Each structure stands twice: as C-alpha cells, then as structure tokens.
Chain A
C-alpha cells in the first residue's frame, strides 16, 4: 500500500496535509510504470515529470488535481514528447504543441508521467494492434486476456494503480469498453463538452476525449477541469460548465431509467445477467423508475455496419496527412506518388490499410449514396430513436459488454446478436454524442465486468449523481487489480 493507491479525494487530503509530496507520488508512479509488465506504455517522461513535480511545493487546497500523477493516451499531442499513436508511421514524431486537455491538466499542476499504448491510431477494440504489440489486462497475470481498446494502455495503467487517472479517447467505445474489462470508471461526456484540439483524429464526428478513474468522484472533478469551450476546437460547446461533483450521493428517487432489453437478452452469460438484474432491483429500491425498452432489433443490428462505414470513411481522410512528406518514415521514391506510397506502405499495419480501403470505397462517387450517405441517414435514425427514449427517461442503462475480458485466442462470431448488439451498443453514445459512463458491476473468474449509463446531452452532472448511487450499490469504488474488492451484489 502506497499513497498512490488512495482514492483521489484521500490523496488530495494527504497532499494538502503534506504527508506525501507530488515528487514522492511521481517517483512511485514512474517506478510502478517501469516495473509494469502489461506493455501499457509508449513513453515514460522520467525527467520531465520529476522536474515538474519538484516545482510543486505549496499544496493548493482547492485544487483536487494538484500534484496528481496521470497518463495520457499516446494520441494526445504533447509538446516535446514523442507521440506515435502506437503506429510506425509516427515513429519519431515530436509534437510542437500540447493538446488542450494536456495543457489544462498542466495548468492545474497534474503531473503527466508518460504516454500509454493504444490500438494503432485508436482504431480497434482489442488493445492488440499497436506497434508495440498486445497490451495485457492487469487482472490476468497469465496474460491470456485482453484489456480491450483502443485506450488499452491508459486502462491498464489506472487498473494497475500506476496513477489515479488517465486520459483516453472514445470513438466507438474505446474508453468505456476497456474500463469495463479493467474494473474502472470510464467516462466520455457530451460531444463538444471537452475540446478535442490536439487529439489525433480517428473519426471526428464520433471522437470524444474520455478518461479512466477508479471512482465516480474522481471522474466528476476531472470533468470540472477538462470541460469547457476552446476557441481552437470550433465544435466545442460554449455552454457553461457545471460543478460536476455537486450532486454526488444525493438521492436518485424519481429518476427514470430505460434498460435496453435487447442488449441483456443477447447476453449469454447468466451469472453476469443475474448480477445486472440485481443491481437494477437495488436501484428500484431507491425509488428509481425502471422500464425495459425495445430499441428495435434492426437498428441495433445495424450499429456495427454503420459505425464501420462512417468511422473508416472519416479515418481515411484524417490520416491522409501521414504521407511521408511532412510526417512518416521517408522511404524514398522518384515521384511524390512513390514517396507517399512507400511511406504509407511501410508505416501502416495491414489492419489500418484495410480500414482505409473500406473508408475510401464507401466514399467513392459510385458508392457514396449506397454506403456513406446511407450510413449517415441510418445514424440519424439511430440518434432519433435514442433521443426518443431519453425523452421519457433520464438514462439508458445496459451491460457495457456481454462478458468479462475475452481471451486473446477467443474469436467472436461477428454475425451473432451477442456480438452485433451486446458487444457494440456503446457506440450509441458516439452516434448521438451523449454523455456515457461505464461502471464496475462485479467479477467473474477474478475478471471485472460492468455496466453503462448514458444520459441526455450536457446532463453530465445528473449522470454522475446516478453513477454515485450505482457505485454505492456495487461497493466497487477505488478498485484496482492490486487490491480487488468483493462485489456487494
């Protein structure tokens, strides 16, 4: 047990009381990171982090992030610190500016320890496709199970208690799914609530900055810092931000929840289902009104295809800057076409190329109507359905995933409902740009699983309120792989 294992709130109190210093925390975080065996890190900034921590000598009582170590996914631009997005095409790239979220955390004097691994360019959900290879789940010392992706390294770092929080990005479920597999709180707020400036784009209409914490309180106070209008991101919202932790632990009586019936129905694991229903009953006991709603099977089954078309189409364009001229390995060539071809051939993995081909194909003049525009229209339909449900309900609730973290060797049946629906519904929050949070629910074979709440646009404060109630029901706050807790249910 070390101070770094404390909850963010307790840690802050210890810092204010000068029982521990930012420097001590930074040393511990670096030590743990260097010793970690989960392949979670792209870069550890020993010198920079230590130097910054040394400057933090006067605790700031009203700043809960003062001196707190954290990690950023390696697709956030960090000035002077190599950033590869776990892709060979960006090997050696050193950004010249900080992402807005990184700058904001610097401003409140949180200490960035390093950068974490991801699925290459944030495309993928397994945590296996980055240029450093697989990232492992700290809950599974045998290294047989994935942690999920694409924010695999950040999930592993927080789950292994290397730091109390980490930044991730979420285009389909890239924060919330790994949070579920890693027993963490994984949050992505409303699209536009947190500036994306400096986040390497995957599919901007779906991209969100998200983050991992070990409890709901930390998630809420982090949003206090990260949220807000940024003039460098024209899509960021000018809506005033809230004090997101204000309503934590207040009664949730009278709130209405829609449980997505089809998701639970398509889950095969009875044990998980049983616990899920038990948690729903516990919510009811607190006066929460629960409806089991039909979303529409066709729509749910279309999520994955719609997501693939839109995200690949946008991705192929976003990554067109990586052409070996400004960025990427220069591999020679007699013409500009050859230079680009050689760089991109060497720099991207096969999986990425496949996505580019799909995206490009969907955008071709002769296919646009049938693929890209059709997917856009279907997205609008899906969003309409989500908002319809949220007219009568404060939240939509479902299991985040149908199972505990899968084995690396386990292939999913990509046409089963369990895959198409239960494993893919989190992208609803990306299609609609709604705030969405994954919370731990329990363990099976020592591996965590969790649920997801999605709320109305910009109602993050209420979402945290509900999340704190749910956290109290499961008793799974401040969990880590080092010290797994007993689930209450």
Chain B
C-alpha cells in the first residue's frame, strides 16, 4: 500500500526587538541569567502589559511577505494554564484574531515551485527558560516575555524535504525582514511539526503525531522522513499510529516518544482585559510594509541579474551579514561576481580559519573592493590580489596599495610590443615546440606560454600572451 504524508508546521520565531513584547525589559542582549527582567516578566502583582510597537511592525512585515490578510485591529487573548515556566499563569497571545491569516509561501520542489498555504501568524510572548537538574530546576526569566510570532501552515507539505524548504523560506523572510536572527540551533526559530500519513487517495487525515525539539533545518527533513517511515511500517504491520508527542534524537536519527497526548488541554481562552483593541491605521500598516528591508527573494533576483551564479547567490544570502557586506562593496567594483568570488573563497576561508563572523572582519567592504579593482582594472592577477588580501588581513592598518608595494607586486605587462619581444625570443629557442603545435599538440601552447611567463618573470598578462602567441604561430609556416 502507498501512503501519503500530511505535514503541518508551527514555527515560533523569537523577535529581535529592543524590548520585550509587553514590558520595557531589554530583549536578549545578555547571556547572564535573570539580568533582563522587568516586574511584568515575573508577573509581579499590579504590572500591566503594554504592546511593543516594533513587534507589531515586524509581524506586519512577515505577514505581508507571506501574502496574508492583515487585521487592522489588534486583539489579544489569555491562554490560561499552570506551568513552572509560565510566570503569569497565562500567556498573552492572539487566539481569536491573529494579526495575519490566509497566506502562502512558494517553496522550491524538484521541477519547479509549490505553494504552501499558511493559516495564521500571531504575536505572543515567550516563557522563561528552565534548566532541570537532579532534584531542582533553575528558572531564567530573561526569555520570559520575549516577543514571538507563531506561523502555522496548513497541511500542504508532503515530505521532509518540502518541510525543510518551507522552514527555510520562513527563516529567510524573518531574517531579511529584520524580525529575527532565525537560528534554529540557538532556539530563536523553533519548529513543531505534525505528521500523519494516510493511504493515497484517502480524504480523511490519519492520526497526528507531534515532533518537538528539532534543532536544525536538516533535522526537520530527517525527523519527518524517519517519522513517515515509522508510521508506514506501523500501518503495514497492522499496528495503529497513536496520538503522541515525540522528540527527534539526533544521535540515533530516530524520533522518541515524550508523552502520549490525551484530549487537547483546555486553555480557557478569553480576551486580555488589560489591552483594549488597538486600531492600526492604514498609514501605519502601509508604512511598516514600505519600510521593510529588502527580502531574500528580491535580493536573490538582483544578484542573479548582476551576474552571480545561483550557487554564489545562495552562499552569500545564507548569511545576511555576508550579503550586507557584499552589497556595500557591490557598487565599488566592475563585476560583482569578482567580489563574490573573493568573499566566498578567500574571505570565507579566512573566517573559517579564524572562527570569526563577517562582522568581525578587520576589513571594510570598500577596501576589499579596492583589491578586487586591482584585478579588474589594475592589471594584477587573481593570485596577486589574493596575496595582497592576505597581507592586509594580517595587518589591517596596511592599505592594499602599500601591501602591493611591500610584496613587490607589479602589474602585468599587457603591451603587445613588449610581450612580442618575449615571444619571439622563446620561439627562437624552442623550434621543436612550434612543430609540435602545428602537429596539433595543444600542450605545446601551454608550454610556450609558460616559457614566456618565465622569461618575463611573471610580469606579462598570461591571457594576452596566449592570444598573441597563437596569432604568431598561425602566421609562421610549418
């Protein structure tokens, strides 16, 4: 029997705003536990929530990027339950009226694109962080009240790869809209997935299993594909799939049961009485959208138009700071592709070696562009420029021009008169190579170019040598 998987994703994204969702405490600048807390975050009696305007702007931008209908009145609700990580005993969320609904995102699938519908996006607040030990638990309230957006997909995804593509598409939007750093490894983007399978052709859904604790995009794919396989094997052997919550264990590559799920908890939702409905003017919503930083897709398009390959564009865009660096240098070079090459090869290997982020690169985009220009118009080879770059990275005080001097790098000679002098001398010394070339041995040309380079001590432009040498050889009678 063939099964079809039905997958839904609930993605929680921590927003990077200056302050928290409903309090004035700073949002996530410190790693020292319990240092970023306002009385509200610990639910001190008498504290009241005040909606963070930037969080609303972010949510609008994400909703717009996901082609959603944006609610111009904000409503908040209380989700009531007791848990040790929940300071107030309720979470303020948007149950009845999410800020955005009925959207979609396009994902890449083999042979084209697929539309994944999105049910809703809403704002809410994070809980505090728990660290469990043998006989006690520590609570860190820094995370309590951090603004979240939750994005809930409709069950349009069919396999792990699609789910991963979808999560990455969401990541790209939240990252490039400036909403979040979108790091699954650090928990700033969290993904709960619901997986069920049904015989192909069956309308009704199978029993849903929830998978939590997936900590990377790659593991979304792995966890779901494992789970589909597990459920298929169960059904084929006549065992039922039970409703439960599982977690993905990276080491074994398996999902493991956390708890059986009985009927869903009753959260006793009701409207948050301390936040009266907030009307958003058309101007406010339009302005939020208009001022949204350029998104991934638009950048990608622009990079390709500028002559970058798809893989170069993908690599640069995988790190928003790298992309920003690239864009700063872009107008300063002739061909952005040359700049991309330096970033992807030389700069990346430097950063890897030094385990630094691009933000820590001791080199301004303009300086890198200057080095790129030495290659583009200054007559230096890529290798020469790479040497200059390495020198400058070692000593950031040094200007590229100075580094070039210190390395005794001189521009390659492209003047044909001068090059012809070397060529004639080399040809006179190597008559056999001329014969070989005429006999169709291409290797002879390479040998002769090498000899010219050697004779000129590398100062001539090899491309130019190759062109002139060919012309000269063609002229000579065999």
- Do A and B truly interact? yes
Q: A93-B45, A197-B48, A235-B274 are in contact. List 4 more A-B contacts (CB 8 A).
A: A197-B46, A234-B48, A235-B275, A321-B43
Chain A residues 291 to 323 lying within 8 A of chain B, measured CB to CB, are 313-314, 316-317, 319-323
CB distance from B283 to the nearest CB of A (A): 19
Q: Please, how many angstroms separate the alpha-carbon atoms of A197 and B87 in the complex? A: 18
Instruction: Say which one of A10-18, A177-185, A360-368, A403-411 lies at the interface with B.
Output: A360-368
What is the count of residue pairs linking A and B with beta-carbon distances less than 8 angstroms? 101
Q: A90 at interface (Cβ–Cβ under 8 A)? A: yes
Q: Is the CB of A201 within 8 A of B46?
A: yes
In the complex, identify which listed stretch (A19-27, A95-103, A412-420, A434-442) lies at the interface while the others stay far away: A95-103
- Return chain A residues, CB-CB under 8 Å to B50: 231-232, 234
Cα distance, A235 to B276, chains bound together (Å): 6
In the assembly, what is the distance between CA of A204 and CA of B276, in Å?
Answer: 11
Quick check: is A200 within 8 A (CB to CB) of the other chain?
A: yes
B87 touches A321 (CB 8 A): yes
B47 within 8 A of A: yes
Give every chain B residue within 8 A of A77 (Cβ-Cβ): 44-46
- Could you say which of B76-84, B178-186, B292-300 contacts chain A? B76-84
* Residues in A neighbouring B46, C-beta threshold 8 A: 75-77, 95, 97, 99, 196-201
Total residues of chain A contacting the partner, CB 8 A: 47
In the complex, whether B268 has a CB less than 8 A from a CB of chain A is: yes
15 contacts between A and B (CB under 8 A): A77-B44, A93-B45, A197-B47, A198-B47, A204-B273, A231-B50, A314-B270, A317-B89, A321-B43, A336-B83, A337-B82, A363-B80, A363-B268, A365-B268, A372-B270
In the complex, chain B residues 235-290 whose Cβ is within 8 Å of any chain A Cβ = 266, 268-270, 273-276
* Known contacts A97-B44, A233-B48, A326-B43: A314-B273 contact under CB 8 Å: yes
A-B complex: 4 closest residue pairs judged by Cβ atoms: A320-B89, A321-B43, A363-B268, A336-B84
Interface residues of A in 328-359 (CB under 8 A from B): 336-337, 339-340
B interface bracket (residues with beta carbon within 8 Å of A): 20 to 34
Q: Which A residues touch B276, using CB under 8 A? A: 234-235
Asked if B208 is at the interface of the complex by the 8 Å CB criterion, the answer is: no
Name the B residues within 8 Å of A321 (CB-CB). 43, 45, 87-89
B458 proximal to A (CB < 8 A): no
* B87 proximity list for chain A (CB < 8 A): 321, 326
A233: B residues at CB distance < 8 A: 48, 274
A208 CA / B268 CA spacing, docked (Å): 25
CB-defined contacts of A447 to chain B, threshold 8 Å: none
A277 at interface by CB-CB < 8 Å: no
Q: Cα distance A326–B144 when bound, in Å?
A: 13
Which A residues are in CB contact (< 8 Å) with B43? 321, 326-327
Q: Mark A215-250, 1 if CB is under 8 A from B, else 0.
A: 000000000000000011111000000000000000
Q: Which residue of B lies closest to A373 (CB)?
A: B270
Which of A199, A234, A313, A340 has the most C-beta atoms of chain B within 10 angstroms of its own C-beta? A234
Answer whether residue A203 sits at the interface, using C-beta atoms and an 8 A cutoff.
Answer: yes
> A205 and B273: CB pair below 8 A?
yes
User: Contacts A203-B273, A205-B273, A234-B274 given: A340-B82 contact, CB under 8 Å?
Assistant: yes
Q: Is the CB of A272 closer than 8 A to any CB of chain B? A: no
Interchain CB contact (< 8 A) of A320 among B39, B47, B84, B88:
B88
Return B259 CB to nearest CB of chain A, in Å. 14
Contacts of A232 in B (CB 8 A): 48, 50
A95 touching B273 in the complex, CB below 8 Å, given contacts A234-B49, A234-B50, A321-B88: no
Cα of A325 to Cα of B50 in the assembled complex, Å: 24
Binding site for B on A (CB under 8 A): 75-77, 83, 85, 90, 93, 95-97, 99, 196-201, 203-205, 231-235, 313-314, 316-317, 319-323, 325-327, 336-337, 339-340, 360, 363-365, 368, 372
In the complex, which residues of chain B have a beta carbon less than 8 angstroms from the beta carbon of A90?
Answer: 45
Q: How far is the CB of A461 from chain B (nearest CB, A)?
A: 24
Provided the pairs A235-B274, A365-B266, A365-B268 are in contact, do residues A317 and B48 lie with their beta carbons within 8 angstroms? no
> Which residues, 11 to 47 on B, are CB-close (under 8 Å) to A?
39, 42-47
B80 touches A320 (CB 8 A): yes
B437 at the interface (CB under 8 A from A): no
User: In the docked arrangement, what's the CA distance between A233 and B45, Å?
Assistant: 13
Which residue of B is nearest A195, CB measured? B48
B226 lies within 8 A of chain A by Cβ? no
Q: Verify if B325 is at the interface (C-beta below 8 Å from A).
A: no
Given contacts A203-B273, A235-B275, A317-B78, contact A327 B45 (CB under 8 A): yes
**A287 → chain B, closest Cβ, in Å?**
38
Q: Which of B80, B82, B87, B268 has the most CB of A within 10 A?
A: B268
- Distance in angstroms between the alpha carbons of A339 and B268 in the assembled complex: 22
Report the nearest A residue to B272, measured CB to CB.
Answer: A204
**Central interface residue in A317, A327, A368, by most chain B CB within 10 Å:** A317
Does the CB pair A363–B270 fall under 8 Å? yes
Q: B275: which A residues are within 8 A, CB to CB?
A: 234-235
Chain B hits for A322, CB < 8 A: 45
Please give, as numbers and ranges, the residues of chain B lying within 8 Å of A196 by CB-CB distance: 46, 48
How far, in angstroms, from A322 to B42 measured CA to CA in the complex? 11
Q: Does B51 contact A (CB under 8 A)?
A: yes
B90 within 8 A of A: yes
Chain B min CB distance to A8 (Å): 27
Q: Select A85's contact among B45, B80, B89, beta carbons within 8 Å.
A: B45
What's the Cα separation between A149 and B139 when bound, in Å?
A: 38
Q: Which residue of chain B is the closest to A320 with respect to CB atoms? A: B89
Chain A hits for B42, CB < 8 A: 326
Chain B residues near A372 (CB, 8 Å)? Answer: 270
